[in-house]
Amino acid sequence: MKTFHDKVAVVTGAASGIGRAMAERFAAEDMKVVLADVEERALAETTKALAGRGAATLAVRTDVSRAADVEALARAAVERFGGVHVVCNNAGVAGDGISVWEQSLESWQWVLGVNLWGVVHGIRTFVPLMLEQGGEGHVINTASMAGHLSMPFLSVYNATKFAVVTISEGLHFELQMAGAPLKVSVLCPGFVRTNILDAERNRPPELADDAPRSEAAQAFRMAFRGFVDSGTPPAEVAERVLEAIRAERFWIFPHPEMLEAIRQRADGILAQENPTFVPPPGVELKL
């Protein structure tokens, strides 16, 4: 996709962070933007800000863990703008930073519901629609470097991101085999300056979990927050996304300096070595 004028983009998790930055970047290309998020106030504020800049927008309150919500999102987009050309399955939550054996079923349900089922619902709903409408289009699934590297105390989050990577690769192959004009990208950022660690504000009450964290888990989470707070501005990630759509590039790595860690992990796997973990600087973890 080389031109964006008057095309329609749907972005989930659009009220903040990477999602908002993508919505802003698409609007700057004169696209019509459908913003979806579970956080209604932030969604309204973001949509108002974009509309104030002259963008054609539509806000749809959406819980991506619910198939019916994503289907309603698609209907609203088509009813308002007549079609969809770019879909960003981006909504995500970090979950609890505790040992995997201490994770509650509620935490598994919440994180898998948003991070994994959100992508599943997005693909199942929008890809058939885009194929039927014909013409070019692009699907961007937000994974993470956590979809390539395993970190302690983030096993639930890691599981969802590894899954998003392989689902995206499978979708890429299948669209190629079908001779479809749709393209796919998987976004794998490192640390980005978002409020993902505060996603508990949107956690459904029925999936609440206040399990205590070990000292090691608390230290890791504090270090992780420091990396996030000093991370890359979301606007820079959004720019990489736009570049990938133009270039029809599958892999989007906004933090190429982290690719060496993927190589080291792959080398260890091929050598059949036991996994090793190097903790963040200044943090001592006792597993």
| Domain presence at residue 171 | yes
In a domain, 83, yes or no: yes
Q: Which domain holds residue 107?
A: 8-270
Cβ atoms of 110 and 203 closer than 8 Å? yes
Task: Split the chain (287 residues) into runs of 10 and give each run's mean pLDDT.
Answer: 94 98 98 98 97 97 98 98 98 90 93 98 98 97 96 93 98 98 97 90 88 74 82 96 98 95 94 84 54
State how many domains the chain has: 1
Contact in structure between 120 and 161 (CB atoms under 8 Å): no
Q: What is the pLDDT of residues 55-99, one digit of tens each?
A: 999 999 999 999 999 999 999 999 999 999 999 999 999 988 888
* pLDDT of the residue at 24: 98
pLDDT at 210: 75
What CATH number corresponds to the domain at position 72? 3.40.50.720
| Contact indicator for 191, 261 with CB cutoff of 8 Å | no
Is there a domain that residue 74 lies in?
Answer: yes
In a domain, 257, yes or no: yes
Hey, which bits of the chain come out as E strands?
Answer: 8-12, 32-37, 57-61, 86-89, 137-142, 182-187, 251-252
Q: Which listed residue (4, 26, 81, 157) is catalytic?
A: 157
In a domain, 278, yes or no: no
Q: Is residue 286 part of a domain?
A: no
Within a domain: 184: yes
- Residue 157 annotated to the active site: yes
Is 1 domain-assigned?
no
